Structure 1
Amino acid sequence: MTRKLFCEISPLTYKISYESHILKRKITDVLKTHIAKDKEDSKLPFVIFEHQSLMRRRLRKVPVPVEEAKVNNLKIATPKVDRVLIKPGETFSFWSLVGRCTVQNGYQSGLMVANDGQLKKGTGGGLCQFSNLIHWMILHSPLDVVEKYHHEQVDMFPDSDRQVPFGSGTSIVYNYLDYRFKNNTQTTYQLITYVGDKYLHGELRASELPKNTYEVKMVDEKFVEENGQVYRCGNIFQYVLENEQIISEKLIKTNHARVAYDTSNLKVYKGNTSTSPRVG
């Protein structure tokens, strides 16, 4: 019989293991990582990239109270990040700024994605929309993503007002699944984040303009049927431009996501992507 891990023995040992992991990471950050924490009320002069994300998408599988809980959670979390400076050599840590999501801190039960890609409800649910927004802005800058996790590759909802490529999101769990980026430049950057009536807003600002500009695009996206299951496939690339000319490209993500909704109205390719599509 396979011997159980300490965290698998009982709910108590799981709690002990979980809390010890959180404490260990906090100690490591204090001793080894220069985490960005200083804020400046005034905005840095140059806007590098800005984005807004619709908070209430009114998807059929998502009840209205759950979406409103997400909006509440975003209203609590965004001021904790707003105006933070990321100075040269510093690392931005989502959880170091936002902190733990608890009922005592005002967080409500919102929608979350479990490790197996299934939807569930949990305190602080919906904050991945916040880390998604930040990540999308960082991809349009010279800042280096040093920690990022993906949700299980499941395409759960049909596209509805999609503004960014599928698969470019993040998965976060306090505090061991964090979203982090490091400033390896000589320029100071600043995040501006706030909640409006309909949208979650973000700006990435800097003390000076970078030499290059950045674009992020989905390439060769298609739906492919494999052994009776439809998958959403494609590649996300980051392009670095100088004087509007591409000087380098980087593969950010390769998608092979199981589609969990009706695909009868989609163009679906059979087998490998060189075969003719099936049109619903």
Structure 2
Amino acid sequence: MGPSSPEAATQAQPFRVPAHLTGPPRLTQRHPRLLPLAIAVHRARRRTSWIKASLTGTTCWATTRAAEPLPHRVKQHGSLLLRELDPDRMVLQHNKVTNLRLASSHVDGLLIRPGETLSFNRVVGNCTRRQGYLDGMRLSNGSPESGVGGGICQLANLIHWMVLHSPLTVVERSEHSFDLFPDTGRVVPWGVGCSIVYNYVDLVVRNDTDLTFQLGVEVGKRFLHGQLRSDERPPRSFEVEAREEEFVRHDDRVFRRNQIWRRALDPDTGSPVGEELLKANFALVVYDLSPDTPVVDA
């Protein structure tokens, strides 16, 4: 990670609406009956890639769990379990807590040893009713809807946020194309979340270091708690922040965009030693902004 110039860090973002927000509807949107077939094809492709990676030895999957926590805490975080929504949606929120408890039981204590790769979908598995999962809130084409296993994205979000504060490498991550809720009580930057769909929309993290890392997660009374630990102290610590945050009006629609930057620090002195742009986010806002929210015209 090399240092970036102040000009690079403050460079204005050109306004360009992503193709998936301006192009014609996808085939499955025009013909919803084809959606199950499309999902089956995606899942078959992903299973094939998993098998190929295992047989050829190109990927060593993280599967080992340890009850004893590793000695060094790299990052800890807690995310609120229940968001204040319409009363008729709160049952989905409570069901989400059950789903998170089930999914977390597969993740807690997981070791990511040198050379190993973590696949969220491989570790958690398919969240079905048979496994005890309930109807929770999930997102489809920019709208919240009820679905079995809904809400486990919150666990993936927690893992991703902690990983960003470590030298682990994010290999695969998908995000939502829509900004769905106002920033009420937000404690992490907008744009660092994950989208999870078994098994082909995944969060994949690889350990390219000589350290062993361990995930610890627990569902508390109010928060989903997480820790990322290691067997030795990493040579760098990290800070993650959003820059160039703004709402933009274009063709009678409002979009949100920002940049996610990561700064590397010397763990002994706290002095910055470099920074990098991780992601430029762009999403369609699907809620009503408060009257005092600044909106610029494209």
**1:62 to partner: Cα distance:** 6.7
Partner of 2:108: 82
Shift of 1:257: 2.0
1:109-258 equivalence runs, <5 A = 109-114=135-140, 116-152=141-177, 154-242=178-266, 243-258=269-284
TM-superposed deviation, 1:118: 2.1
Other-structure match for 2:125: 99
Deviation at 1:256, TM superposition (A): 2.4
Give secondary structure in 2 for the equivalent of 1:160: coil
Q: In the alignment, which of 258, 261, 264 is matched to residue 287 of structure 2?
A: 261
Q: Do the aligned residues in 1 keep the contact of 2:142 with 2:286 (CA within 8 Å)?
A: no
Distance 1:62 1:84, change over 3 A: farther
More helix by share: 2
Please state whether the residue corresponding to 1:176 is helix, strand or coil. coil
Contact 2:257 2:281 in 1 (8 A): yes
Q: Which amino acid aligns with 2:101?
A: K
Q: Please say if 1:48 is aligned against 2:74.
A: yes
SS at match of 1:83: coil
Name the structure 2 match of 1:277: none
By how many angstroms is 1:71 displaced? 0.5
Q: Within 1, Cα distance between the matches of 2:41 and 2:254?
A: 38
Deviates more, 1:220-229 or 1:9-18: 9-18
Give the % identical residues. Answer: 39
**What do the CA deviations read for 1:207-257 (whole angstroms, capped 9, x no partner)?**
010111100001121222223222222211111112322222121222222
Could you say which structure has the greater relative contact order, defined with CA pairs below 8 angstroms and 6 or more residues apart?
A: 2
Q: Distance in 2 between matches of 1:138 and 1:62?
A: 34
Q: CA shift at 1:18, angstroms?
A: 4.7
**1:105-149 CA-partner distances (Å, limit 9, x unpaired):** 0001111112x2222221111010000000000000011101111
Q: Structure 1: give runs of 5+ residues left out of the alignment.
A: 273-280
- Distance (Å, rounded) in 2 between the aligned partners of 1:61 and 1:220: 35
Q: What count of residue pairs does the alignment treat as equivalent?
A: 266
The root-mean-square deviation of aligned C-alpha atoms, in Å, is 2.2
SS in 1 for 2:60: coil
Q: Is the 8 A contact 1:55 1:200 kept in 2?
A: yes
Q: Which moved more, 1:25-34 or 1:76-85?
A: 25-34
Cα distance change, pair 218–62 in 1 and its aligned pair in 2 (3 A): farther
Change (3 A) 1:125 1:16: closer
> Would the aligned equivalents of 1:70 and 1:127 in 2 still touch at CA under 8 Å?
yes
**Distance in 1 of aligned mates of 2:37 and 2:295:** 48
Structure 2: gaps of 5 or more residues: 1-26
Tell me if structure 2 keeps the 8 A contact 1:25–1:176: no
Q: Give distance in 2, aligned partners of 1:266 and 1:258.
A: 19
d(CA) in 2 for partners of 1:211 and 1:12?
47
Cα displacement string for residues 72-111 of structure 1 (whole angstroms, at most 9, x for unaligned residues)? 1001010101001110000111111111111000001111
2:207 maps to amino acid: N
**In 2, Cα distance between equivalents of 1:163 and 1:12:** 37
Distance of 1:246 and 1:15 partners within structure 2 = 45
